[in-house]
Amino acid sequence: MKHLLRIDPGWFMLALALTGFLLLPGYLLLFSNLFVLGIFALSYDLLQGHAGIVSLGHAAFFGVGAFIAATLARHGVSEPLLGLIGATLVSGLVALVVTPVVVRGNDFTRLLVTLGIGFLIYEAANKARDLTGGADGLSDFTVGPVAGLFPFDFLGRTAFVYTLAVLVAIYAMMRRLAASPFGLALKGIRENVRRMSAIGAPVRRHLALAYTISGAIAGCAGALLVQTGSYASIDMLGFDRSADVMIMTTLGGTGSIPGVVLGAAGFGFLKDYLSSVSPKYWQLGLGLLLMASVFIGRGGLAGAFESLQRKLGGE
């Protein structure tokens, strides 16, 4: 048992996902949505968990990626991979443009600035009805087969494999980034920004790069949701989605890459299940469960897993 717990939890999650593909064919679309949430949560955790930046407007980049993918599909770029790359690049570019404002100031200033950026982009999307459809969103586009070979089907098999493959790629990238000198520098900035500045570390440049990468990954997640669901809505830019990603990250364990993915999947599943049980009062049930998770399991799912490791290690 001790040796099993030392294995990267990512392998267990991948095995669990593939088991779900085989045993639960009626839930493949739900699984693909959970994979998208996992990617979105990883993008936010790069900010809060590794760089120490708390953002209240992270959904702005998720929504930008979503509408870029939808717009490209509307104008004939129906290849999902091309749309995904385009959405990722544009979202990263938008994040890069706003970094000079975000990386300045203290944590409270960044909260207000990121919240303001989120509201501005949301309102801009709402006014640009010709591009975004306004409150009605966009649905008049067609997404072609992945790589020209695998069309999206009603059962969600292509969507499952497509989103899972992207999640695995980003998960692996995040693992390498966290262990790199850049990732270690971000952790140092999170723990003591003054000390990192004193030793000559380019703090603002590191934070700007982290914010840009985070925005690009969030845009990738938004593009995936649009491509697998064939619909883009300005709600994807809203504050509620920014709050959701904060909850997912906290639930999984801030700073833990596998924990964040599990937290996103657990949050998405609970939200779907409770809304089906009680369409009117599901938010009450979700709130109670989240409060219980904070008081009972400190450190999120990752903290619970580490406690289990310590207990087994002491036997």
Ramachandran assignment for 231, one of left (phi > 0), alpha (psi -120 to 50 degrees), beta (any other)? beta
Rounded to an integer, the average pLDDT of 202-231 is 94
0.75 exceeded by pTM: yes
Q: Are 62 and 125 in contact (CB under 8 A)?
A: no
| HSE-up (13 A, CA, CB side) for residue 113 | 16
Least confident of 73-87, 190-204, 298-312: 298-312
SS3 per residue for 216-259: HHHHHHHHHHHHHHCCECHHHHCHHHHHHHHHHHHHHCCCCHHH
In angstroms, the CA 257 to CA 29 distance is 23
* pLDDT per position as a tens digit, 223-275: 999 999 999 999 999 888 998 998 888 888 888 898 899 989 988 988 888 88
Distances (CA, A) of 167 to 44, 101, 265, 268: 14, 30, 12, 15
In angstroms, the CA 179 to CA 173 distance is 10
In angstroms, the CA 71 to CA 225 distance is 14
Q: Are 292 and 273 in contact (CB under 8 A)?
A: no
